Structure 1
Amino acid sequence: MSYDSVFKPGLFAGQTILITGGGSGIGRCTAHELAHLGAHVVLVGRKQEKLEQTSAEIREDGGSVGYQVCDIREEEAVKAMVAAVLAERGVIHHLVNNAGGQYPAPLASINQKGFETVVRTNLVGGFLVAREVFNQSMSRTGGGIVNMLADMWGGMPGMGHSGAARAGMENFTKTAAYEWGHAGVRVNAVAPGWIASSGMDTYPESMKNMIRNLKDHVPLQRIGSESEVAAAIVFLLTPGASFISGNTIRIDGAASQGSRAWTLGKARNSEPYNGFHRACVPDVLKDQE
């Protein structure tokens, strides 16, 4: 089997695409799709084991892949990582700024270190990677950048540190699109809602019931697939999106719209798109299959 992409074969042939957080979850899925479409993907992450595993999958499927172990929160490490990729590949055509992480906690119990760690991961790290890719490559060649956000428009109770960082990344996306547009660099973002991804299994036991009931709060009455996020990311990198910059696509089944005063109707006519042949159902959702 191979990735069942909605995009034409060979769309990214000859292109090098950097994907942070590429060893798991949405980053892994996106890497598989882009490699299937002909790109040489470079996976970036802190854990070598995950990068090696996803790289092996992509090679087994016939794709071209490399990886760099890097903590994107460290400025000098990011500079060196981008330089290493360019030394090998010559140019970075696109960047998928996917890496991130957070933990559930009410604001009153988050200490300074915890808040700063999440902001450094979800905002500062993304800025550092984008800046270095621009300064070292895209300022000369142009390219596309897609940043990762979350559904934070109504606040993120229980994850205020992540919400603050993601809101900052949305503003960074708009600013970078404006400042870097002259070089032919387009900067956009995607904001996934509730997606069936491996990250769901990292949350504590106390949250499992809530996770299983998330679909009841989505107008489409289901949660999304990794493929549905990857497809939006890929679209924003295609020539068809060449006049789209400074925008955010919400991938949340309309969950971020309306209010709870409106009663959702009974689900019908909405089937998930899942083109990822190696997708894994999170353990917390397996009893719903």
Structure 2
Amino acid sequence: MTTILDGKASAKAWRAETKTRVAQLATERQIVPTLAVVLVGEDPASQIYVRNKIKMAKQVGIKSINKTLPTTATQEEVLAIVAELNHDPEVDGILVQLPLPEQINEEAVLLAVDPKKDVDGFHPMNLGKLWGGQPELVPATAAGIMRLLADYHIQVEGKNVLIIGRSLIVGRPLAGLFLAADATVTIAHSHTKNTLELARQADIVVAAIGQANFVTADFIKPGAVVIDVGTNRIDGHLVGDVEYATVSQKAGFITPVPGGVGPMTIAALLSQTTDLAEKR
């Protein structure tokens, strides 16, 4: 019998914890955690993400500052906004919504964010701490996945983990978190020759490749844990990187799309913003 990892339910419980912590900060220290979001351009997906983040932040009592710039914004204008937020003592976390328009150097902007306010965990200093085995601020999707596994009491220590995808947003930081939790980690990507063989040996398979229905039942050994990070649209429907209908018959645990990893990402972001406010 396959267990569905319900990200909506886990995220709801996590947000309730965060709401309690936020209320305590207000009562005991008169601090309101504040998240600043920088949005450049009019990418529809980015606008939806930002709206959702701001809505969820409000629900748990976190204050949001939304800095929106036009698609034509220069790098200097974006860097000036980041510098302003870095120096604002009331701002706990800064999130630069990616992707940025092509005229802006993404790396330079992420590097400009104060590492102590880097709630997305993309600054090289925070990525370095993660790979040094001392994770503090980590990319929210990776943090959300680890929390979801913990909520379902899925043991990670000593397990063989295959992560399909090596992005800085999911694959690489997630590998660092699994290593810190004493798992044995393999990362597969577009140049990997034997992804199918590797997947068949894995206790936990994470699909984060951005290719609809890439992982089929052939990839999965019976009883494995399958985490689907993919969000792909086919004929107006949201589907993951895992062929859910067949894989769910074989896996021991599986995340649905939607309703799996997505809600955990925002819950992680709110929790880390509150962590930063507690350190203020």
Q: Same fold (TM over 0.5)?
A: no
Using CA pairs under 8 Å that are at least 6 residues apart, name the structure with larger relative contact order, 1 or 2: 2
- TM-score normalised over the length of structure 2: 0.40
TM-score by length of 1: 0.39
